[in-house]
Structure 1
Amino acid sequence: MSFAGASFVAGGRLLQPPAQSAMIYSGTASSGSWWYHLLVVEGYSRVKELPDGRRIRGRTFRAGGYRWALKFYPNGDGIDAAGFMSVCLILDQDVARSVKVHTQFSFIDQVDKQVLSCTRASKAHDFLRKNCGYGRSRFIKREEFEKSQHLKDDCFTIRCDFIIAEAAATFIEVGSDVTFKVGHESFAAHRNILAARSPVFMAELFGPMKEGTMTGAILIQDMEPNVFKAMLGFIYSDLMPKMMKVGGEAEGDADEVTWLRHLLAAADRFDLPRLKSMCEERLSEHIDLSSVTAILGLAAQHHCHGLKEACLEFLKVQSAATLGGVMATSEWRHMSATDPSILNELIAKLASKA
């Protein structure tokens, strides 16, 4: 990650960083896609007297070729955030096209050691124009904050980590601190980024069993390397991965359906609902007589209600002979034996057709 500076606020007034700030803040690394900025607030007892909706704006800083700033609302950024503290990252310049950014906000209880706590992550957002901002409207309840260890000597520090999606894919391996072994391939990644996007990675990398992930590569079983690589690409970019190609030639529809099925299963396994939804949408475009049974079984197994409905609607409009042919296959018999409710739902669909 790269240190993108700090903003200092005393009693609600933005100050220039003290001369010794370079000695206070550590952990600067050189990565092209992941930055963090600190908002240091002194004199909270005076800051909290600001009226509801009023904010403190940190200094403008540069990261990834853009200008940014942090905004902090001690009494919430709106009616829905009453009783909470709010924080957000804003784009401080006009842009020709949107900038997609992942954000994560944390308190730092020990600035010199960069110990993060009360981490709040959010999905990627498109920053469209100057003063466009996203963050955590309900970052923490004021009452809870004032009783916490985050507030010391009337001071506290908020850290904003952010990833600019357009640059992320190029720098995945730079500054990585965790390695995964998938089949015969290894993949480097960043713990904080994975944990911010996936509750499963959060539990595995920072939960009670994290010690087992600190030494050596983490083994990922029952997954193809190209699927894991595609999933990592989504985590860093928030974009639908492109299907891997073999020998530089485009894959056929059947290959794409197989790849999408595996990617959807991976998204469900690591609790990535946006990727799962993207796979559902793409798979719904490939429903035909050769794929409907496999896609329907996948949808039922991974609780993809929209995709399941699309498959049943497709079967509903088929002729009796065509439908009989589908149901006579061993693939259909296996699926219906595994999940008898599918047949009942299809019968209900056919009944509504009559």
Structure 2
Amino acid sequence: MWDNCFESVEKSERNVGSGSILAHCMGLGKSLQVVTIAHTVLTNRLSLVDRVLVVCPVSTIFNWINEFKLWLPTSSVVKVYEMINVEDRIVITCSLVDPGPELVFCDEGHTLKNEKSASNILTRRRITLTGTPIQNNLLEYHAVVQFVKPLLLGTAAHFTDFFAKPINNGQSADSTEYDVRIMKQRSHVLYKMLEGIVQRFDSSFLAPFLPPKYEYVLYLKLSDLQRKLYEQYLSERSNFDCNHNRPGLLLISMSWNGSAHIPRLFLISTKAGGVGINLVAANRVILFDTSWNPSQDVPSIFCVYRLGQTKPCFVYRFIAQGTIEEKIYDRQVTKQSLSCRVIDEHKIKRHFSGGGLE
């Protein structure tokens, strides 16, 4: 973070700096690293930093405040301000960002889905935090990189022609040998181009320090009545616009630390449960709804399976056979494979044909 944003004390005096992406898996302590560097630059006058802004989802504001209170000494000269109004949102205008903070942290940075997201923040020293840099496609990854290093990957059109299309063409089980070879080459080139600004640690770094985690995908056969109701629903909704955000459901089973040790259930939407929330009191996660976006499901698991967890964790994903949920899950696997190839440079099997996902 220091190397990308400041380089050195001498250069920080004359350069506006740039940014980096902290792409650590959920639960590896990204917030602690933010507190550390924020405290370092704010207490060292040579860094010329007087203000640091943390932009985060509403549901994680109190988490961030607690993290700063936890790690900063009580005598610290660093002051933490909670910027939130009665409507649970804050609008950042040019009056705030010009001259604005000298350093900006963007939590859940994968939500920067278009290049216009960066236009309202003039600060060039930007650090994006995300455990899932790629959500649905490579263009969203381009937007995240564009936020911290403008034009490093060229325009969106250039990126699409040189990286996105060739990589996508070589992902399918029925891709030609030529397409597969080009896909591997372009994936490697993209990885090396971003190696200096993207610091990546995946979930394998957690495994030695945590109890085991078991994941199960359960395909459930519909009863005759359920099948009839499902088909009736489809016929009635054939003209309905399905391009909307449906709240998924995440059910978490936990045992509270009270004297009675009574098992309890915690219901939360998948989207809300996947944005940096710490729920290590639970050790069982049941995903009732499959999301088109894997980055909404995966963080929901890691809000339970993270440092501080002391019990074995069990994850159950329910999928109704013969329904759209099967297709959604297949798409999710494909998107996760794309992320593993580009972000982690893993060798992933090509499971689905191009037409099989249509």
Higher relative contact order (CA 8 A, sep 6+): 2
Greater radius of gyration (CA)? 1
TM category (shorter chain) comes to under 0.3
TM-score (norm 1): 0.23
TM-score (norm 2): 0.23
